[in-house]
Amino acid sequence: MSHSPPLPQASWSPPPPGDGSPKLRLATVWLAGCSGCHMAFLDLDEELFELAKRVDIVYSPLASDVKVYPEAVDVALVEGAVANSDNLALARSLRRRTGLVVSFGDCAISANVPGLRNLLGAPGAGSGGSAAAVLERGYVELADSQPGYPRAPGILPELLERVLPLHAVIPVDLWLPGCPPPAPRILALLQALLRGERPVQLGAAELQFG
């Protein structure tokens, strides 16, 4: 990971396991992904009980009702590519409020399957670009009634012209590949963080795509 920018100072350092010590403040974030990475996180199954002793989930679409990304998050696992204006805004605000940002899964790392639409915006792929191409197909050609692009400023985000990997819009500290990264890989990463490893050294088994 020589291309990694220098690690920002995380506000958190690992406490010894035990009662009363501060817990790691963990966020999980879902941008343009399929939630498979989040499902792999839930595949930690009973390990979640162990994790809960040392980690507080302070923000998560599936495991928290907190609506606003909180301040002073230690680690964020960010699933998904950056495909629309909401994704972009959330990525920027979580960067400001998080010590360590993890590109969590292949979509965050490379744009992966959501990024396939970028091909539609390639030179020679037709006019209009990739966003227009998918909107046209979805909401005009394939509508039986009331065709038209969904548009509700302030409520519906706009699609970005190119679907981007996370590191294209904010500095990223760690990459955890896989589509999704299976639960044991996620556990290995979290355990390294809980041991206080900086930078985190992941083994070859944790660094596989697909």
The yes or no reply on residue 101 touching ligand SF4 (CB under 6 A) is no
Residues 43-68 as b/e (b if ≥16 CB within 10 A, e otherwise) read ebeeeeeebeebbbbbbbeeeeeeee
Segment interacting with another protein, rule: CB under 8 A, options 7-15, 61-69, 185-193, 200-208:
61-69
Of these partners, another protein, ligand SF4, none, which one is at the site of residue 139 (CB under 5 to 8 Å by kind)? another protein
The yes or no reply on residue 38 touching another protein (CB under 8 A) is yes
Angle between helices 47-54 and 183-194 (to 10 degrees): 20
The yes or no reply on residue 34 touching ligand SF4 (CB under 6 A) is yes
Residues 139-159 as b/e (b if ≥16 CB within 10 A, e otherwise) read eeeeeeeeeeeeeeeeeebeb
Phi, psi of 98 (to 5 degrees): -130, 135
The yes or no reply on residue 52 touching another protein (CB under 8 A) is yes
The yes or no reply on residue 99 touching ligand SF4 (CB under 6 A) is no
Segment interacting with another protein, rule: CB under 8 A, options 8-16, 17-25, 45-53, 168-176:
45-53
Between residues 10 and 170, which has the closer beta carbon with respect to ligand SF4? 170
Cis peptide before 199 (omega within 30 of 0): yes
The yes or no reply on residue 26 touching another protein (CB under 8 A) is no
The two structure tokens encoding residue 103: 């590109």
The yes or no reply on residue 113 touching ligand SF4 (CB under 6 A) is yes
State the Cα–Cα distance between residues 142 and 138, nearest whole angstrom: 5
From the CB of 21, what's the least distance to ligand SF4, in Å? 32
Of these partners, another protein, ligand SF4, none, which one is at the site of residue 41 (CB under 5 to 8 Å by kind)? none
The contacts of residue 113 (CB under 8 Å, 6+ apart) are: 34, 107, 179
State the Cα–Cα distance between residues 29 and 58, nearest whole angstrom: 11
Between residues 52 and 205, which has the closer beta carbon with respect to ligand SF4? 205
From the CB of 15, what's the least distance to ligand SF4, in Å? 30
Q: For binding to another protein (CB under 8 A), which residues are involved? A: 30, 32-40, 42-43, 45-46, 48-49, 52, 57, 60-67, 83-84, 86, 112-114, 116-117, 119-120, 133-135, 137-139, 141-152, 155-157, 159, 179-180, 182-183
